[in-house]
A = this chain, B = another copy of it.
Amino acid sequence: MSELARHFDTLAIIGVGLIGSSLAAAAKANKLASHIVLYDLNPAVRSRVQELGLGDVAETVETAVSGADLIILCTPPATMGAIGAQIGTHIQAGAIVTDVGSVKEAIVQQLRPVLPESCFLIPGHPIAGVEKSGPDAGFATLFEGRWAILTPLADPRPAYQDAVERLTHFWEAMGAKVDCMDPVRHDQVLAMTSHLPHLIAFCVVATAQDVEAVTDSEVVKYSAGGFRDFTRIAASDPTMWRDVFLLNKDAVLDLLGRFSEDLTALRRAIRWGDGDTLFSTFERARTMRREVIEAGQDTAITNFGRDLTASAKAKDDGKSD
C-alpha cells in the first residue's frame, strides 16, 4: 500500500477521553492525517482539548465529521447509535467510520442502520487501556505492541476491502498489531479477558468498602497484600463499563455463571479442608502468568516493575548487590 493511501486528509475524533486523546496524539506523532478535528459533548473537555493542542476543536459533532475521510467514534458504547444518527447525513461519500468500543455486536447493530451506504463502517477495538480517563490521560504510544481488533462487515464491495486495508495500516502505523474477527466472537473473547476481570475487580473493591469488620483505612493500609492490584482496574471509567456490561449482557452473564460455580467449588474445598483441590487449582493457574509474559502481553519484571519507578529506583540498584 502506498504512503498516500495510508495517509488521511482529515481525521475526525468524536469523544476525547483516554482513547480519543491517545489517537489524536498517535496520529499526530506518526503523521497519519493532514488535519485532526476533535469533538466532545462536554464543553469543558473541548476547552481542555484546545489547551492540550491535540488538533482543531469543532463546536458541533456535525461540523467535526463534515469533510473527514476517517471518523473514529470514541464515545461510551451506548451512545454510538444516537451519534451515528446525528452525523449520518454529514458524512462524505467514501469516508471510513470506525469506533473503539469494547463491545462490537451491539455497536454494529446500532450503527449499521443509521449510516449512509456510501461510507464504510468498520467497527474496531484496540485492546489497550490504562486506569486513567479523560483527555489528559492520553499518550501517543498507548497502542504500541497492543492488539487492535477490527470486525469488518460482510461487505463484498472491493472499495470496502480497500478501506479495511487502509484502516489496518492506520493502526499498524501507530504500533498496533491488527486482527480481524467476527463481532460475536470478539464479544465472547473480551468477556473473558476484559469484561469479567473488570466486573470482579469492581466487586472486590465494593465488598471491601462495605465490610464492617475491616475499616476502609485498614484496607488501604495493608493493600500491598494483593488488594491494590484490583484497585487499578476498578479505577477505570464507570460510564464506559456500565455500557459494556449492558451491551454484552449474554456473554458476561454466561461467564459470571461459570466463575460463580468455580468459586463455589473453591469455597466448598476451603470449608471441607480439601487442600488437594485448592493446591491443584492454584498450581494450574500459576502457569498462565508465564504464557502471558511469553506472548509479550505483560512485563516479566517482578511486581509489574512498580517498584522500579520514581523514588523506588534506588531499591532496584540495591537489588543487584
Chain A residues within 8 Å of B, Cβ to Cβ? 25, 29, 102, 127-132, 137, 139-141, 144-147, 149, 188-190, 192-211, 213-214, 216, 218-236, 238-239, 241-243, 245-246, 249, 252-253, 255-256, 258-260, 262-264, 266-267, 270-271, 273, 275, 278-279, 281-286, 288-292, 295, 297-299, 301-310, 312, 314-315, 318-319, 321
Residue in A25, A262, A303, A321 with the greatest tally of chain B CB atoms within 10 Å: A303
Complex alpha-carbon distance, A253 and B201, angstroms: 18
Q: Report the bound CA distance from A257 to B190 in whole Å.
A: 27
Complex Cα–Cα for A308 and B234 (A): 21
A84–B165 Cα gap in the complex (Å)?
68
Q: Is the CB of A203 within 8 A of B263?
A: yes
Q: What would be 25 A-B contacts, judged by CB atoms less than 8 Å apart?
A: A29-B318, A129-B224, A130-B303, A140-B321, A192-B218, A193-B208, A193-B214, A193-B218, A197-B227, A204-B259, A205-B285, A206-B285, A207-B258, A219-B288, A220-B288, A220-B291, A224-B298, A231-B292, A238-B283, A239-B279, A242-B282, A252-B270, A260-B260, A305-B308, A308-B309
Shortest C-beta distance, A79 to chain B (Å), equals 13
The quantity of this chain's copies bound in the complex is 2
Contact A263 B302 (CB under 8 A): no
Query: A128 CA to B259 CA in the complex, in Å?
Result: 28
Residues of B within 8 A of A260 (CB): 260, 263-264, 267
B259-A221 in contact (CB<8A)? no
- Whether A285 pairs with B202 at a CB distance below 8 angstroms is yes
Q: Are B299 and A220 in contact (CB under 8 A)?
A: no
